[in-house]
Amino acid sequence: MRRTRVMIAVGIAASLAVAGAASAQVLKGTGKSSITIIKIPANHLGDAKAAGSVSSKPAAAKVGVAPTGGGSFAVKLAKDVGDALKPGYAPGEYVIDVEAAGTPTGDIVGAAGAAEFFITLTIDLAGKCTIHGNPHFTSVASGGDATMCGAAMQPLCATDAVGKCSATIYQVAGEGLKMVAAPGDPFGARFRVRQNPNTATCHSGDICLNVPPLTCTGSCQTGAVVGVGGVALAPFGF
């Protein structure tokens, strides 16, 4: 219950920044986004390629299946092939760290109400990525505890898309967003890729909220940053 209550208090800052604020039941907004992932520190080489991308798009809910939250997103992470000019990620546990402002026009960094929202994923030995849902809204079969889904008067439970590295807003945030934003509210955000320090204490749906003081519901923020979203400049700005 704690994660969901915190997310409602955060408002737009708790929204998954790569896809926008959305209700768990209806489609809100029509924007699409795509941003490359620059590996840290391998992409400091002038000719190195991007290490992946994150993209998002609206996704309407369908009758008879779990809600979408209004949007879906996908992560592409390049496989580590041992080539510094083609950086990628080795098998392991990772976190998408999304930092967003507390209001559509607010500052992201250091502002009261700004927040970091976390989404966990696993890269298996074959290089396939799976995004893990918020455990409270994820079926037991997919590793969740299903404490806020599947029962009477509750939404259907979500399931992880194993090996596809894609998810909906509902999967990672549950219903915590449907009370907090007007349709189509824009906001600024940035994201980082971190290592997951402890899968027992870092889950999708965990959040760090600058109220102040900074309070976090898990350990996701402590993982080392191994990628950032954005554009890498040439060594001398050429």
Number of other CB atoms surrounding residue 31 within 10 Å: 12
Contact in structure between 155 and 67 (CB atoms under 8 Å): yes
Please report, rounded to a whole number, the percentage of residues in the chain having pLDDT higher than 90. 46
pLDDT digits (tens, 9 = 90+) for 144-198: 999 999 999 999 999 999 999 999 989 998 876 555 555 555 556 788 999 999 9
Measured CA to CA, the distance from residue 168 to residue 74 in angstroms comes to: 9
Tell me, yes or no, if the pTM score tops 0.85.
Answer: no
Length of the chain in terms of residues written: 238
Considering all CA atoms of the chain, what is the largest pairwise distance in Å, rounded to the nearest integer? Answer: 60
Q: Which H or E run includes 16?
A: none
**Closest to 98 measured CA to CA, from 204, 180, 233:** 204
Measured CA to CA, the distance from residue 173 to residue 64 in angstroms comes to: 19
Measured CA to CA, the distance from residue 83 to residue 100 in angstroms comes to: 33
Question: Exposed (0-12), middle (13-18) or buried (19+): which is 55, by Cβ within 10 Å?
Answer: middle
The answer for residues whose C-beta is within 8 angstroms of residue 59's C-beta and 6 or more apart is 27, 68, 69, 70, 71, 72, 168
Contact in structure between 229 and 36 (CB atoms under 8 Å): yes
pLDDT score, position 23: 36
pLDDT digits (tens, 9 = 90+) for 16-49: 434 443 333 444 456 788 899 988 876 555 667 8
Alpha-carbon separation of residue 22 from 29, 138, 144, 166 (angstroms): 8, 18, 22, 17
Output Rg (C-alpha) for the chain, integer angstroms: 17
pLDDT score, position 56: 86
Mean pLDDT of the chain: 80
The answer for residues whose C-beta is within 8 angstroms of residue 200's C-beta and 6 or more apart is none
Angle, vertex CA 186, rays to CA 182 and CA 191, nearest 5: 125
